[in-house]
Structure 1
Amino acid sequence: MLLKLVIIGVILVVGGLSLYPYLAKLPSNANLAFNAVADNVGDFKDNTIHTVSGTLDRTVNTVENKIETITPSADDLNPVKQIHDKIISPTKQQVYYGQVYEKDEEQQKCKISVPGMAKTVNGKKELTHTIDLESCKFQKQELVQVTEKTSPVDAETVSVEPLQHSKVFETLQLKTIRHDDNTVSIQYEDTSGKTVKVTVTLRNSDKQLFSGEFFSSKFDTNVNDVSTSPHIIEMVVEHPDYGIVSSSVYNPEGNQDTTIYGVFTQPPS
């Protein structure tokens, strides 16, 4: 038994000695290959960590950008501002034309008839809207321009200014004459001779008393049975130079004037 062990030991020593020259001849880059594998494994680990980290960073940035995009501002979340924006609208302005039909010279007060501002009260439409003006600088039967401004937050404001006469007033004339027998004469004249058509209506608070069309630049017509109650005469003139021109004459209750001149205006452009 001992002999066998000695023989095996000798074989191993001899074999190791015989293989040494071959092991010594292995290329030096064999160790580098092993080291490279180890390094590659390390780099792979680092690159993987960096890639994952970069992906996470980009994902976080994208999510943050999305959140910033969809996050409403403080103004959007403010219900008061939203309600304010919905309620507040631009101030509206409307221009009308009227005529001074009564003037108190002593107190410098006047009443102005503005047919375009007539309102419906208790189911009945006014003949005309009356403005009571303090410190009135206008003369009786003078033509005026009335500007009404309305705003959701401010009170309604009305301003009255003189209206500059144009060539319309130089060529067109409407005159009404009230007679003692309760008849009213309506006299129209266009000195240019170009009137195409004139539509005339006369009404009081209860009904329309007269309506007619005239195709002439000058006419005179009488309306019978016009009581002393307030009434208004309205006229629409079609003219090739002026277009559509409106006129009105308001005769209030108790008015002592027998002759009243009409108001001629053109709608605001």
Structure 2
Amino acid sequence: NDTIWRPRSSGPVEYHGKMVTLKWGLAQSENYISAWLMKQFSPQAVVDIMQRMGIRSFIDPVVSIFLGTSDLSVEEMVGAYGTFVNKGVYTRPLYVTRIEDRNGNVISTFTPFIDEVISEEDAYLMTSLLQGVVTNGTAVRLRLTYKLANQMGGKTGTTQNHSNGWFMGVMPDLVAGVWTGWEDQAIHFEDLSMGQGANMALPVFGIFMQKLLADKDFSVMAESQFEAPPGFNIELDCDKVVREQQGNPFRQREY
């Protein structure tokens, strides 16, 4: 209908129109950065890679899909994020791996579907980007409020009209997802003050992780580290790269 669609930003206006890094854009959940990326590769290309990463729900290939316009399940999201932790290999979540009778005899075993979707190098880069969200982005309260010091990444998410809040957390040995919302999408928060993933879903993840790492059977996870692939030599300090290439120090939002 010849109208212009523009994604809105809830971040500081002083950054609008300025050169920023993808790591900063992801950490701050700036929608216009996602819109720019979508324009470079096309919505259909994004849908194609999502489907290879286990998203089986219908996704309309439109530019606004990065705003959460499609209905997805927690199982699909956990499987997709697991691709980054599993070094580029998608592994479909499996609820039952073995069935035994009451005497311990194995009746049946099950193995998950796996598929190499992206390179190990790209997967490691994604874990670095996701760690930025926890270090100085929308999930920084996992450090400040919930005192989680282990290596982890994550992503907050808020769907249209503040109807659903998401948080996806990744660790070297674990991927966990939290969805909060209503089956009836007409029920939603009025604004972002409470109706965002950082306020709706992230606290659930924070409490879950506190209890998990306090359990002696899982506390070893706190020492796990993301492993760089052999020969990896890409500079992960985006600020350093910007300073060297442009001679213009990139200033991140402070917390």
**TM-score bucket of the superposed structures, by smaller chain:** under 0.3
TM-score (norm 2): 0.23
TM-score (norm 1): 0.22
Q: Which structure is higher in RCO with an 8 Å CA cutoff and minimum separation 6? A: 2
Higher strand share: 1
Higher helix share: 2
